[in-house]
Amino acid sequence: MNRNENRRKRAEELVARMTVEERIDQLTYQAPPIERLSIPAYNYWNEALHGVARAGTATVFPQSIALAATFDQELIQTIGDAIATEARAKFNEARRHGDRDIYKGLTFWSPNVNIFRDPRWGRGHETYGEDPFLSARLGVRFIKGLQGEGEIMKVSACAKHFAVHSGPEELRHEFDVVVSEKDLRETYLPAFEACVKEGQVDAVMGAYNRVNGEPCCGSPRLLQKILREEWGFEGHVVSDCWAIRDFHEKHRVTKTPVESAALAIRSGCDLNCGNTYLHLKSAWMQGLVTDEQITESAIRLFTTRFKLGLFEKTEYDDIPYEKVECDEHIALSLRAAAEAVVLLRNNGILPLDAKMCSTVGVIGPNANSRRALIGNYYGTSSRYITPLEGIQDILAQKARVLYSIGCELSADRTEPLANANDRISEALAVAEHSDVVILFLGLDETLEGEELLDDANYGSGDKKDLLLPAVQRKLLESVVSVGKPVILCLLSGSSIDLDFADRNCDAVLQAWYPGARGGKAVADILFGTQSPGGKLPVTFYRNDGRLPAFEDYAMEGRTYRYLSGTPLYPFGYGLTYGQVDVVDVRVGGPSFGKDTLPLSVSVRNDCGREVDEVLQVYAKPIDSPHAPPNPVLCFFRRMKVASMSEATLDIEIPSDVFTVTNDSGVRECPNSEWRLFVGFSQPDERSFELTGRRPFEITLKK
């Protein structure tokens, strides 16, 4: 009997001692105590998207989209483990003080592995980007970091939101996603499948929307046929919060809360985040659900609690509170923030030499914003370092730093009684008196986020378009007009049209939401203490109106795999302070028919500094009607290459990348040649235009 079988056996024995009413009570996120069985209360709702959230002090790591930009699997797993360590430390103290409130448990509803298919989606920065392969690899490693691989699970991870979920936020409670079998299996499900099969994720959260008519939290096809029967999932399923209520109030697939509760549990949703399962007793009494269905859900939930060791002494009970926001985790967060920065444009001005700048102008609404550091679903840091503060620290006693907010994030004035654009003149004065200007623009969770209701500029958390707010565009144009060198740094979580900046700024950086102390990492990149090596996990488009309708979930025209036009900055793109080239690629062993394809990749760094880069491999069959039109990412590895040196990497490409998904949603291996592209970007023309390099190309014959 393996460890999970043993945990389930113990859960079965405990649940067998409960009445049906007691079992029903355990199926809501606020599970009450059962004193006669010595079962304490437990609240399942907790969040750990990029650090322990909503429960006080914790290390606030960079937001998920920033972690994706690192293309660093080992780093993601290490961060997951650090988050789990802090979670256990906080849980130990909360339990010792009798605190079993929301956000105090060990069941974390993270990661979000939805595909960021449309750049307007407000919650896209919670994800790992637009590519199924990248999302799967990072999701699996984050889960392994959170859950650990010991006898007792460190914390419980949850892959969300299952499935086919990426906006619009305004319609999510009533929206029916119509998706083809090909897109479902090729794009929307692979990351979840990997999280279940490889990551052994403990929980899966259903989405708010319907998929082809079935509400996700009450979908026999998604929750039974695919999740449990096809993938062999053995954990528990939790609804998104109050999603089951949507069955009768918004989707209208049921008529009453009783019917909604019955549909959800019959379909395989074990835990209700919400209160609709308060009607389960009525459903049971009316014969709409069976004792066996209620019992099975209770067993699954108690299996999780046994896997976490909540009824015994564990090795994690002695993790001290001092692990919370410790120096090691702060350093890890800063490393991630630096690795995440993507250098989009550089005419040679970066890295800045502090000795050459007597006065540096720092301008913009995100220059000194704490909110722009943290994204959403965040904890509380004991200290925040904004970009302005990071720059001031680096230049202390070396140069003068002038600062102006320049404008608000979206409001047209800072002082209510002033005229519009009341900080523009100050920004112009700062620019005129500076040797170089660093302009910090972008967004924060008030402009891109989850179902926002009160913002006049952006709708319900989603973006109306890809442009910066009008007041920021005016600030950018005004500062550029001064004629001083301008470096634009974006703190945001999604694709923004930077066409004007690309044509008029000396350098452009994408820093995402870099974590509580991320301003230090940004300053380190700007002044060359560290070299940028991040890559875009999403395509940056021009705001030219060619995006498909937001409500259309067909992949045609979406993401780098199906894009027909020319992007501003492609997926996988990012510059460095130097250049590494692939000089040779050799295939070792048979090309097809094995579990992996071994490659030996030789790279060379001819510049005078160590370079941080991401090796990327893309694959495309030469002749297949079912393949995406563009080559698809099938391997990546973050690497450092020492100055004036060569290195050889022995890598293995999974053989399942040499398949395509047909119109029926079935993966097949086309009888054709394949092209592999090995380099530091996509093999597209725009990447070549921006980098001056093409990936090394090889052809494999079947």
User: Is 659 among the domain residues?
Assistant: yes
Mean pLDDT of 322-336: 98
Q: Which of the four pLDDT bands, split at 50, 70 and 90, describes residue 452?
A: low
- Same domain as 422, residue 352: yes
pLDDT, tens digit (0-9, with 9 covering 90-100), for 531-586: 999 999 999 999 877 899 999 999 999 999 999 999 999 999 999 999 999 999 99
User: Is 444 among the domain residues?
Assistant: yes
- pLDDT higher than 50, residue 216: yes
- pLDDT higher than 70, residue 292: yes
User: Is 606 among the domain residues?
Assistant: yes
User: Is 651 among the domain residues?
Assistant: yes
- Same domain as 344, residue 290: no
User: Is 109 among the domain residues?
Assistant: no
- Same domain as 509, residue 416: yes
- Using the Cα atoms of residue 147, residue 153, residue 155 and residue 156 in order, give the sign of their dihedral: positive
- Same domain as 366, residue 287: no
The C-alpha atoms of residue 313 and residue 309 are separated, in whole angstroms, by: 7
- pLDDT higher than 80, residue 502: yes
> Which residues in 324-337 are b (16+ Cβ under 10 Å) and which e?
bbbeebbebbbbbb
- Using the Cα atoms of residue 563, residue 568, residue 570 and residue 571 in order, give the sign of their dihedral: negative
pLDDT at 455: 43
- Same domain as 382, residue 264: no
pLDDT at 456: 38
pLDDT, tens digit (0-9, with 9 covering 90-100), for 638-650: 999 999 999 999 9
DSSP string, 378-435: --B-S----HHHHHHHHHTTT-EEEEE--S-SSSS-SSTTSPTTTTHHHHHHHHHT-S
- Same domain as 343, residue 273: no
pLDDT at 109: 98
User: Is 674 among the domain residues?
Assistant: yes
pLDDT, tens digit (0-9, with 9 covering 90-100), for 567-576: 999 999 999 9
- pLDDT higher than 90, residue 421: yes
Rounded to two decimals, the pTM is 0.97
**Domain stop point among 488, 516, 538:** 538
User: What is the domain count for the chain?
Assistant: 3
pLDDT, tens digit (0-9, with 9 covering 90-100), for 271-281: 999 999 999 99
8 A C-beta contact, residue 109 and residue 54: no
Share of the chain above pLDDT 90, in %: 93
| Catalytic residue annotation | 240
Q: How many CB atoms lie within 10 A of CB 675?
A: 15
- Same domain as 469, residue 349: yes
Mean pLDDT of 417-430: 98
Nearest one of 558, 555, 575, 576 to 567, comparing CA atoms: 558
8 A C-beta contact, residue 84 and residue 148: yes
pLDDT at 454: 47
- Same domain as 517, residue 382: yes
> Which residues in 530-564 are b (16+ Cβ under 10 Å) and which e?
bbbbbbbbbbbbbbeeebeebebbbbeebbbbbbe
pLDDT, tens digit (0-9, with 9 covering 90-100), for 243-258: 999 999 999 999 999 9
- Same domain as 270, residue 196: yes
- Same domain as 292, residue 343: no
- Same domain as 342, residue 287: no
What residue type is 445 in one-letter code? E
**Domain stop point among 523, 538, 553:** 538
User: Is 103 among the domain residues?
Assistant: no
- Same domain as 261, residue 180: yes
Full residue range of the structural domain in which residue 452 is found: 338-538
The C-alpha atoms of residue 198 and residue 221 are separated, in whole angstroms, by: 21
- pLDDT higher than 60, residue 453: no
Q: In the sheet that 645-654 helps form, which strands lie side by side, from edge to edge?
A: 580-587, 596-605, 645-654
Please name the residue ranges forming H helices in 434-569: 470-481, 499-504, 518-526, 559-562
pLDDT at 457: 40
Residue 415, domain CATH: 3.40.50.1700
Mean pLDDT of 454-460: 47
Residue 5, domain CATH: 3.20.20.300
Pairing of strands 507-510, 342-346: antiparallel
**Domain stop point among 474, 507, 538:** 538
Q: Which of the four pLDDT bands, split at 50, 70 and 90, describes residue 5?
A: confident
Residue 589, domain CATH: 2.60.40.10
What are the backbone dihedrals phi and psi of residue 181, each rounded to the nearest 5 degrees, phi first? -60, -35
The C-alpha atoms of residue 267 and residue 220 are separated, in whole angstroms, by: 5
Give me the chain's average pLDDT, please.
96
- pLDDT higher than 50, residue 530: yes
- pLDDT higher than 80, residue 48: yes
The C-alpha atoms of residue 303 and residue 309 are separated, in whole angstroms, by: 10
DSSP string, 40-98: PPEE-----SSSS-SSSB---PPPHHHHHHTT-HHHHHHHHHHHHHHHHHHHHHHHHTT
Mean pLDDT of 471-481: 98
pLDDT, tens digit (0-9, with 9 covering 90-100), for 354-413: 888 899 999 999 999 999 999 999 999 999 999 999 999 999 999 999 999 999 999 999
pLDDT at 546: 83
User: Is 502 among the domain residues?
Assistant: yes
